[in-house]
Structure formats: C-alpha cells, structure tokens
Structure 1
Amino acid sequence: MAQRNHTTALSLKNVSKSFDQQKALVNANFSVDWGELHALLGENGAGKSTLMNVVCGLYTADDGQICIDGQQLTIPDPQHAGTLGIGMVHQHFKLIESFTVAENVLLSCGDRIGISSIGDISKRAKEAAESIGFSIDVQARISALSVAERQRIEITKLMLLGADILILDEPTAVLTDQEAANVLGLLKRLASQGKAVVLITHRLNEVTEFADHVTVMRSGKTVIDGVPLEGLNRSDLATAMVGEGRDPLESALNQTSSRTAERPRLKLQEVSIKFPAKKHGQERLSFEVFPGEVLGIAGVGGNGQTELTQALIGLIDIESGSITVDQDDLSNASITKRRQHGFRLIPADRAGFALIADLQNFENLALTKVATSDFGGRWWLSRRVMRQNAKALFQSSNIRGGTVNSKTRLLSGGNAQKLLLARELDTEASVLIAHSPTRGLDIRAYSAVHDAIRRAVKNGAACLLISEDLDEVLTLSSRIGVMSREAFHGPFYPSEISRSRIGELMAGHV
C-alpha cells in the first residue's frame, strides 16, 4: 500500500459466518493498527482462522464490515486480498507436493513480483529465507520435506511478497526455541517498521513476550477485544480462552513417565535409514523404549525425524540393523503385522497419513479395525456397530464440533486429534509413535493430548515422542535424545542434560 490514511490497518466489526447452518463466527470484532503486533488467541474451533480467512478472501462473511486503512470494502478472493497488501501463512500449508520449492514459490509469487524464471525466483527465495535466518533447498520436492521445512517455505513466501498486513497462523508451532525467537523477533521488527502483524498462536509465552495487544475468541465470538498486555498474565489469558474457573494450564496428570519393566518393549539396534530424495541418511541408530516410558526425541525438523517415523511403522525399509518389539524382530514386517504387535501412530500430518477428510467420523474411527473383522465379515460391514463404537469414543474422548455422521474435515484441529487418539490408543496399543502430536493445537487440546499419552504409558505402552517443540519433550519425557545432522545423541536422563545443552545439540554443536 503506497500511502496510509488511517492509524488502523485492519478493522472487522460484527462479522458473522455460518457453514451448513453451523455458526462459525457470531458478530466477531477485531482490529490491528499499523506498527503493531497483535495476538489472536482462542481454542481450536473458536473461529480465529475462519475470521482471518475472511480477511484473506478465502471466505465471504455473511454479515459485518471490513475496513482496510480506514476504507470499507469487500474482499472477494485471495488475489484481491493480495493487491490490498494482505498476506497469510496458513496452519495447513498451501503447497503442491509434486513440485519443487522453487516451482511452488514461482507459482505463488512470480506474477506478483514480476519474476518468470526458476533461476531468478530461486535466488530471491534463498535471499528471503536467509534474511530471516532460514536455509532452504529450492531444488527439493515438497513431498520430501518435513513439516518444519514446509513451514519455512510458507514463511519465506510471505517475506518475498512483502505484504503490509501479515497474518501468521501458528507460525512457530514446529520450530525450535531459537528459531521461534528469531521469527517472533522478525515479526516484532516488521511491526516496528510500520507493518501490521497478526499472530495466531497457542503459546501464551509468545503473546506475553512479543505482542502489543491481544484479542481472545471463544465459540465464534470476541470475548476480549484488543486489550494491551500490561497487567495480564498467562493464567488470565488461558482462562479467557476456555471460559472456565480452573486453570487450564494445569494437567490432571502432571507427571513424567517412568518405566514399569526392565525389558525394553521397542528396541532399535544399529539401524540405518536412507532418506528418500536426499543424499544422506541416518546411520547406526540405537535406542530402547520401555513399557510405561516416554522417550522424547528433540531436534530441528528435517533431521531425519519423518524418515525414522516412517521406518518404524513400515512405510520405508531400513538399510540395515534391527527393530524388535517384545523381542520379536519386525525389521521387515508389513504395516499390518506391526499393528498386530501393537504399533500405533500419531503422525505430524494427520490429514496426509492418518485421517481421510471426506469420510464420516464413524468411518475414520473404524478404519483400522475393518481388517480385523471387528465390525463384520470380509464381505459385509455393520455400520450400526461402527456408529455405536464411534458414539462411545466421542463421549469418552470429549470430541466436539461434529457428530459421528459428519465429515471429519469439519472438525477443528484439536477435535480431529482427539478422534485420532481415540482410534489409535486402544487396549491393544503397546508401542506409540507420536510425531509432533500437539502441532498447532490450542492450550486445552494440547493438555488433552498430553493426558492421553500419559494414560497410554500408564497402561503399559512404550511411547516414542518425536517433537520439534522442546517444551513438549521436556514436559513428557523420562529420557531425552536429540537428532541433528544425521546424528543421534543420547538418550539422557533429565538430570544429565540442560535445556541449553539440548539446544546446542539440536543446532549441531557437538
């Protein structure tokens, strides 16, 4: 925007939006000034992303007023939003899996910044990434990148476009502490340069440390409208988010795990894994996970976490070494056989690897049990029994925002994760692989996922927690390992290693 005529960059008044008669926004209000970093808080399903998607032209409001720089207008599509200087990094990435990084950036940004060649866009993308402390491989295909690496591409695109109104939906959810601090510091600097920055986050410390003002949404409504942070603490904000008297920061099961047996349940011995589409791999990886224990693996995304997860569940083959569960060698076993031995997975990308968005919720809950004849024979399935099972799981897991018959794509991120946990953490779960299980979740869903993991290990499961969220690793784990630059360090007991040392290992400073 060449000239600014108003102190308020973006203003939304009495905005309402419904989907299939379900109210997502109810007279919601929000505003952010030029030169301000404004935090937008709320549980999953509170309406935060929906409200910002209205700003970005992805949704059209049923009612209400939108003003940009003091001028009331409509935003019919994302292209028009771009011409107004609005840019958004979405929680669910807008990337084409089969394209390279450079091709994705060219597709998204080329016309808008006057670049038509792969070479030129590659150079500009590298420069934009380096300016915010990231390093990206512009020739890599998106399908070969980790969740964290994909997040960096989205942030790079936004920086490359030079938007004046920046909206970021959980931008640090998959970043290390240092990377998160770098990104938040950058956003603060952009705000100080006169840009308007909207930060959607579930990390309350980010709000209290970096934001100028905060807005809180609950059930589609604005419950706190743009108040300054002075005088507010984490507990105040958390209570506003959930609307309850208790402190949602406290878990009912607030303790770390401890092993319940001397013999390991999961054992990796000298395992080597080749990384598809990459020149390197993981060599001679060895560790054990005991029943009743959470072994946490910290690390910056893209250091082999995704490949380790895929090798454990049988999606890719290991080059050498052995994987055993309860002393049974499953190194070359099929996915089905591994599940029969109690392997269960909470992937970083639940939409890509665990849930089918267009299936009904009862179908997704039954998906892994169809082959075991739990719901009928080979040629006939009882949908009545499947629905009964789903209703019981909906109630026991407190899944909200839909019914057993509604499509899974309509669930918020937190409720979709609850649905996945309800399916995976059945009575037969003996080895749980949890890869970034709370990525992008609000504080109550975050706590619910942690409680579910603790219950599973209390019942005897061995959990391998792989997460880029160091706080999550430190909170849940009884032992901690670090993956960095194709190396594995540890495992360590918490008393043997400091947070700062873990950060050094994550950064490759051995």
Structure 2
Amino acid sequence: MKLELQGITKAFGPVVANRDIDLVVEPGEIHALLGENGAGKSTLMNVLYGLYQPDHGQILLDGAPVRFDGPGDAVRAGIGMVHQHFMLVPVFTVAESLALGHEGPGPLLDLDAARRTVRELSDRFGFDIDPDAVVEDLPVGAQQRVEIIKALSRDASVLILDEPTAVLTPQETDELIGIMRELAASGTSIVFITHKLREVRAVADRITVIRRGEVVGQADPASSESELAALMVGRSVTMQVEKAPAEPGEVALDIRGLTVVTDAGTVMVDEVDLQVRAGEVLGIAGVQGNGQTELSEVLLGIESADAGEISLYGRDLLSQSVHQRLRGGMGYVPEDRSTDGVVSSFSIAENLVLDRYDDPAIARAGTISPRRLAENAEEQVAEYDIRIGSVHDPISTLSGGNAQKVVIAREMGRPLKLLVANQPTRGVDVGSIEFIHQQMVAERDAGTPVVVISTELDEVLALSDRIAVMYRGKVVDVVPGDTPRDVLGLMMAGVPAPEARAQAATHETALAAADEGRSIAAERQERLAARDGATPANPRETR
C-alpha cells in the first residue's frame, strides 16, 4: 500500500507541531523519520493513526483520500501503530491485550484464538512471550514485544513503529530489524521513528528529517551518523563523549554480598560485591532482566535486600528510608520514566520537584509557593533545553524525550553525593544525549560517584571509567572502560572476561577472512551482472 501525507498541519493552541508536511512511503519501503524530541514526529503519526485530526492537509492510501475519525478507522484501512508509550492494560494477560478492541459478536472473548496468535507470532519472530502472562509482571522489553505482536496480528499494510527499540536490548533490536526487513520484503510499508542513528543506517531505505515541525530534507541511509545528527538538530553534534581521565578518590559506595530474592524465590541479585569511588563512573552492562533493575531499586530503597550491606561514605544505606536517601544527596533516574519517573497528570513544574516538595527553596511550613515553583521550573527548563509550551502544562503533553529531560533536570539539578541513572537517555535524541552525557561527566568531575545502568553498550562504553557486567544476578567481572564492545557482548552472555577476550580475538580473525571472501564474491557478481546486463541486487538484501 502506498501512503501519502500532503500538507499536514497540526497545532495545539499557539504551538504548531506540524507545518505543511509532505511524506510519501512506497509499498515495501522502510521509511525512517528522524528529528529531535518535540520535532513533531509522533504528532504526525498520531494524525495518520486517527488519534488527532489535521488542521490542514490530507492522507491518501493508494492515491485515494481517506479520513480517519479514530484509530479504529485507521486499523480497518490497514494501518497499525506501535506507540512510544505502551497502550497496554497492566492487569490484562497478553492474550487479553491482543483481544482488546477485537471482540466478537458474542458475550465471550475467544481467548484461545488470541493465545494461538500470540504463540504463532512469538515463535515466528523469537519473542518468547507467554500468552497467559500478566502485562504488569513482564519486564519493559517484553511489554514492548507485546505491543509489536498486537500490531502484527492486525495484518497491517502500513506499520508505524514509534521508537520501538527504546526499551529493547541490542540483541532484541537486531531481531526487530530482521522482522522489519521480513515485513518489508512481503510488501508491508513501514514508518520507523527512532533516535538511534545506527539503526536508521542499518535498515532504512529512505530518511525524512523533521525539525521544529517542518520537513528540512531527505537523507541518504549511507550518510554518516555525524551527518544525520547535524541534519536533525541543525548543528554539528559530538558523537563521542569528551572527558578527561577520571581521578577517583576514596570508595564512596560500597556494596557487599548483596542478594535480592523475589516472592516466588527467584534470585535476582546474587551476592554482588561492587565499589564505586568518588569521581568515577561505574557502568553496569547486561541484557535486561539480569538483576540490574533490582540492584538500582535496592540502592534507592524501593526494593528490599535479603542479604548484604550497602554503605555510602561509611553510612549504612539499608537502614534509611527512600526519603532519607534522597535528602542525603542521592539522585535517581528510574528505568521507566512513565511509571516511576513522572506523574502524568501533574504539571511540568510539579514534576520537577516531586522528590523535594519540602525543600525550603520551594516551600514554607509545608506549603509550596506557586511563584517559587514556577521560577524553579523556568530555570530548569532553560538549563536543560526542555521543549514545552508552559511550565504549568501537564507533563503528559511532552514528547518522551522531553519528559526524560524533566527527570534528569530534577535529579541532577541539586548537590549530589551519589547519582544512580538507569537507562538515562532512553528515547532521547542525539542532541539531548550529548547534553545529558556532558552533565553526567561534569557530575563525575565534581567528585560525585556515578552508577550508570544501560542496555546500550555504546552509552556504557562512552561514559564508564570501569564496567561491571551482570548475568543472571551475578557480576561476571569488572573491566576497564575501554574494553572492546564484542568482549562485553560475550560477557553479557555469561562468558568470563579472559575467555571472552580470547573468543573475540578468534572471531575477529574469522570475520576479516570472511569479509575478504565476500569482497571477492561481490566483485565477481558485479562483473557477471555487467556482462549479462542483469539488475543489481536489492540493497536491503545485501545489508
């Protein structure tokens, strides 16, 4: 199905989210949509999906104008969407989530059919999803896979993926890219919204760049990441974190024998020993679900430890409440901002003081001063370049990346003795990632111990002075921050560091030989094609 958007304009009061946007997506094409947080990408897709009505412009499918008064109309027309923020009911099972909105004429749901569909798609694409699992019990990455299964089950001819990899591990991302290629090869048109330039270059056939609500140009997928980043934000962007060598001081955070066991008896953190010094960044790498979340939550106090000790500058943390830890100088960026980082119905200004509502700079005698609240918000918004209409707007009006910057500003906008950041740049554009990384390095240079937990190996490598790799609740090893990416990848699968280095070296030698062989084969294929007048291979098939 060919999709065309012609002159789409959408405004919210004085804020123009989309201005006269044209977009064409051909059948079987993977069309990437790039832009900063708040550039208008999600708004444009919400117009396409029938969630918003355009103020001007029209949508065409195979050349015929269409109007969608709601998502139901879009789905019936063959358009599916995987939203940036999950559209799942926490207490439903996966099968119930799939059946929601597709009930039959009778009073009962055909959950057996929904289970079969979940199993079929899960087996086909390697999603490993139990149809009877309750959504709220699934980790974030698994919930994202449920959203993808929902969209795939509708037989969509046009599939919108709005930041689908924001909560996926590198391995899951590679699997999704394979799924996208398979769908495109079968004729499905895909609109792919992401901030991750590596993914765009790997899978996109064409790229459209939006800046501040307007199309600013088309980009070649063969362009470098620096070129794409500059087109996105309108300036050159440093793709590497610039930092001086760390000058670690005394041991600040000391974790010994930490163990966390779930109510069902599963050991999520298994006798972990870690030390973080003042003035260093300790990165924690690992496939999601290997204990990193539980470790970060124990540090804040929202999860209980079953054994072990944690101290910060010699003071026992486990005996302190969450409030005491925050007042004692801990900054905490949660893994899932929408659930644990913000209150969606509160204003931006209120979300910027969620964990310091009784700060004398904001409140007197337990009463928050509206003037001081607004002043604090205006300062934070300006310092962290948060794109908003008004500080009094609900935070739910912000893009995901700007909401993340609200969390970052709140946690780093005060003196800290420890910063724990879990997925600090999830769903954030390259320009904002650059800024957030600079702030975290500045925090390190000011002498603060920093713990960064991320499934993004590039982020771990860019920020870390040392890296601890977790697998099945244990720390496989702690290695230098310049450890090669492929070695870390093997360690994330549980391979000890020395063995991982040996395997990586062997693999690199084999790859070099294979690349040489592929090069010779490609040259031969080109010569034969030139001789026979054959059509060159589809570029997507050779990626």
For the Cα contact (< 8 Å) 2:380–2:413, is it kept in 1? Answer: no
Matches within 5 A, 1:382-397: 382-397=369-384
In structure 1, the residue matched to 2:461 is: 474
In structure 1, the residue matched to 2:514 is: none
Q: Give 1:39 shift.
A: 0.7
1:229 has 2:221 as partner:
yes
For the Cα contact (< 8 Å) 1:257–1:292, is it kept in 2? Answer: no
Amino acid at match of 1:356: V
Matches within 5 A, 1:247-286: 247-250=236-239, 254-255=242-243, 258-261=246-249, 263-275=250-262, 279-286=266-273
Amino acid at match of 1:50: T
For the Cα contact (< 8 Å) 1:275–1:307, is it kept in 2? Answer: no
Against the structure 1 CA distance between its residues 220 and 126, is the aligned structure 2 distance closer, same or farther, given a 3 Å change threshold?
Answer: same
Of 481, 488, 501, the residue aligned with 2:487 is 501
Q: Give 1:258 shift.
A: 2.2
Q: Give 1:240 shift.
A: 1.5
For the Cα contact (< 8 Å) 2:226–2:239, is it kept in 1? Answer: no
Of 170, 195, 198, the residue aligned with 1:177 is 170
For the Cα contact (< 8 Å) 1:211–1:229, is it kept in 2? Answer: yes
Distance in 1 between the 2:358 and 2:477 partners? 38
**Structure 1 segments unaligned to the other structure (5+ residues):** 1-7
After TM superposition, the structure 1 stretch with the greater mean CA deviation from structure 2, 129-138 or 75-84, is: 129-138
Q: Deviations over 1:318-365 (max 9, x none)?
A: 111111111111113210111122111111222221222222222222
What's the RMSD between the two structures over aligned residues? 2.3
For the Cα contact (< 8 Å) 2:49–2:68, is it kept in 1? Answer: yes
Secondary structure in 1 matching 2:2: strand
For the Cα contact (< 8 Å) 2:253–2:449, is it kept in 1? Answer: yes
Q: Give 1:212 shift.
A: 0.8
Q: Give 1:110 shift.
A: 6.0
For the Cα contact (< 8 Å) 1:479–1:491, is it kept in 2? Answer: yes
In structure 1, the residue matched to 2:477 is: 490
Q: Give 1:145 shift.
A: 2.5
Against the structure 1 CA distance between its residues 56 and 142, is the aligned structure 2 distance closer, same or farther, given a 3 Å change threshold?
Answer: same
Q: Deviations over 1:135-159 (max 9, x none)?
A: 1233333223322221122122222
Q: Give 1:451 shift.
A: 1.4
Secondary structure in 1 matching 2:20: strand
TM-score (norm 1): 0.91
Q: Give 1:280 shift.
A: 4.1
Q: Deviations over 1:22-72 (max 9, x none)?
A: 111110111110011111100111111111111111111111010112211
Matches within 5 A, 1:263-342: 263-275=250-262, 279-342=266-329
Q: Give 1:106 shift.
A: 2.8
1:417 has 2:410 as partner:
no
Of 13, 22, 37, the residue aligned with 2:15 is 22
1:143 has 2:136 as partner:
yes
For the Cα contact (< 8 Å) 1:298–1:470, is it kept in 2? Answer: yes
Matches within 5 A, 1:397-412: 397-412=384-399
Q: Deviations over 1:95-137 (max 9, x none)?
A: 112223332223256659xx93434423321331232222123
Matches within 5 A, 1:181-220: 181-220=174-213
Against the structure 1 CA distance between its residues 108 and 449, is the aligned structure 2 distance closer, same or farther, given a 3 Å change threshold?
Answer: farther
**Structure 2 segments unaligned to the other structure (5+ residues):** 497-543
For the Cα contact (< 8 Å) 2:38–2:387, is it kept in 1? Answer: no
In structure 2, the residue matched to 1:445 is: 432
Amino acid at match of 1:229: P
Amino acid at match of 2:228: L
In structure 2, the residue matched to 1:98 is: 91
Distance in 2 between the 1:200 and 1:249 partners? 22
Q: Give 1:444 shift.
A: 0.7
Distance in 2 between the 1:437 and 1:276 partners? 28
Matches within 5 A, 1:453-468: 453-468=440-455
Secondary structure in 2 matching 1:394: helix
After TM superposition, the structure 1 stretch with the greater mean CA deviation from structure 2, 78-87 or 305-314, is: 305-314
Distance in 1 between the 2:349 and 2:461 partners? 34
Against the structure 1 CA distance between its residues 276 and 187, is the aligned structure 2 distance closer, same or farther, given a 3 Å change threshold?
Answer: farther
Distance in 2 between the 1:491 and 1:98 partners? 38
* Aligned length, in residue pairs: 495
In structure 1, the residue matched to 2:530 is: none
Identity %: 37
Of 55, 60, 67, the residue aligned with 1:62 is 55
Secondary structure in 1 matching 2:355: helix
Q: Give 1:172 shift.
A: 1.9
Matches within 5 A, 1:113-132: 116-132=109-125
Of 57, 73, 93, the residue aligned with 1:80 is 73
Distance in 1 between the 2:170 and 2:292 partners? 17
1:350 has 2:343 as partner:
no
After TM superposition, the structure 1 stretch with the greater mean CA deviation from structure 2, 416-425 or 372-381, is: 372-381
Compare CA radii of gyration and give the structure with the larger one.
Answer: 2
Amino acid at match of 1:337: Q
For the Cα contact (< 8 Å) 2:260–2:267, is it kept in 1? Answer: no
Secondary structure in 2 matching 1:269: strand
Against the structure 1 CA distance between its residues 111 and 436, is the aligned structure 2 distance closer, same or farther, given a 3 Å change threshold?
Answer: farther
Against the structure 1 CA distance between its residues 135 and 348, is the aligned structure 2 distance closer, same or farther, given a 3 Å change threshold?
Answer: same
Secondary structure in 2 matching 1:44: coil
Amino acid at match of 2:164: P
Segments ≥4 residues shifted beyond 6 Å: none
1:31 has 2:24 as partner:
yes
